[in-house]
Structures are given as C-alpha cells and as structure tokens.
Amino acid sequence: MPSSSQRFDLSGKVAIITGASKGIGEAIARGLAEHGASVVVSSRSQPAVESVAASLRAAGYEATAVACHVGDEGQLEQLVAATVAQYGGVDILINNAATNPVFGPLETMDGAVFDKVMNVNVRACFLLANRCKPLMEKRGGGSIINIASVEGIKPSPMMGVYSVSKAALIMLTQSQAREWGAAGIRSNAICPGLIQTKFSSALWQNEAILNHFVGQLPAGRMAQPEEMVGLAVYLASAASSYSTGGVFTADGGHLIAG
C-alpha cells in the first residue's frame, strides 16, 4: 500500500491543461509538473504556451506546448493528436479555458454572446473530454477536472450568461462521472471564487466592486492562482481515488456569505 505522500505522485502520468498560458491554468500546469506529470500546456497563442513550457523544462520538468483555440473543434482534435504523438496517451484532463466577454444584465445579452460563452465554457469541455475518454480507458482510467466557478452555484449580478455556462459545466462533470465511472474515469469540478487573474480583472481592478466582494468574504481577501493547485493535484492523483462527481469550492467562503 503506497504511503499518503506517494498517492499524490503523478510520475508517468500525462496531463493536458487548457487555458494554461497564465492564471489558474499555468499554476495548475506547474503544480502537476512538480508532482511528476508530463504536462501539455495549451492556449490560443503558441508563443505564450511555449514560454510557460520552456520555464517548466528549465526547472527540470517535462512539458510540451501546443496551441489550441478550444472553440475550434478541429484544433481540439489536433491537441489530442499532438499529445498522443508526444507522450502516447492521456491520463489527466484539466478543462480550464473559459471566456466571459461581456458583463451586464441578461436582457442586454444577445445570441452571439450566449453562443460564444457556451461554446468555449461548455461545448469545448464536452468535446475534449469525449476525445480523451478512449485514451484514458486504454490506460486503465483517468481524471477529468473541469474548472467551473462558484458563479455556477450562486450567481452574481451582471454575470448571468457566464453563471449559466458554469452551472452547465458542473452538470457535465456529474454526467461524466456517472457514465464513465465503470471505465475507471473520474470527473470532478473545481469552483474557484474571486481569483486575481487577468480573466477576472474587470472585477478586482474596480475598487468599489472589489471592496464589495471582499467585504462579504469570511476570508477577507481574494485568492491567488496558486491557491487552486492543491485541489487540482489531489483530484488528478490517486489520493482522490474515491472522489468522482464532486463539486469542490475554493472561494474564501463566498457561498456561505450573506
């Protein structure tokens, strides 16, 4: 029986991380690599992901950069093919790439905004997981981690379409867990709260909005991307072998705040 520390070891595992050129995705890629995984760092810009992969290799870790716009189904196929060509398969999938192009009331959103958000935040995760599933089965199982949001559980004003997409991603996670458990594939969702990233800059760069959010949090502050890594390593590793269909929050107490 492996020790508790050994159960977090990801040596020999191959992980794809989307949206990994910065923020939460980059932090998770680094965390998985530090625990022994070979990581495929993916985002829309090849120079951006190559920079991340190069910094990981310079630190002695195994990393490959593959550009991919997750809203393009053909590029998703190429991402998986490149991973298989480089490493022979996939064990871990981190669906982290997301978009939220507009803040505003639901009634001001049009169909184009809705379609864009759902395409990137839900459809891409669905398609990429479906392509990874048979590869995981061949390797005896795997772990899918969908980066959702507390917005998918408790919506905030002006973020309605984004909240809808993250609620759908949580249900996709639970459906994957239900249907793919027999194949040894686990699927779990991480729901971050307010994290200081470029993605959320419209919130935290506005002092009034930031003070409003932080003032209600039991933790009394927003988080850094690195604070999401512990959950990701746990869910990617054998330490979480009995965890599937879970919705794990890391929100500074947002869901219990008034």
Select which of 61, 87, 162, 234 is catalytic: 162
226 torsion bin: left (phi>0), alpha (psi -120 to 50), beta (else) = alpha
**Residue range(s) defining the domain that contains residue 54:** 7-250
Q: Residue 105 — pLDDT band, cuts 50, 70, 90?
A: very high
Q: Residue 5 — pLDDT band, cuts 50, 70, 90?
A: confident
Any idea what the CATH number is for the domain that residue 211 is in? 3.40.50.720
Among all chains, which residue has been given the structure tokens 């985002």?
43
For 27-53, how does the pLDDT look when each residue is reduced to its tens digit (9 = 90+)?
999 999 999 999 999 999 999 999 999
Question: Does residue 256 sit within a domain?
Answer: no
Q: Which of 143, 38, 27 is nearest to 82 (CA)?
A: 38
Question: Does residue 16 sit within a domain?
Answer: yes
Q: Is 162 a catalytic residue?
A: yes
Say what the pTM is. Answer: 0.95
Question: Does residue 2 sit within a domain?
Answer: no
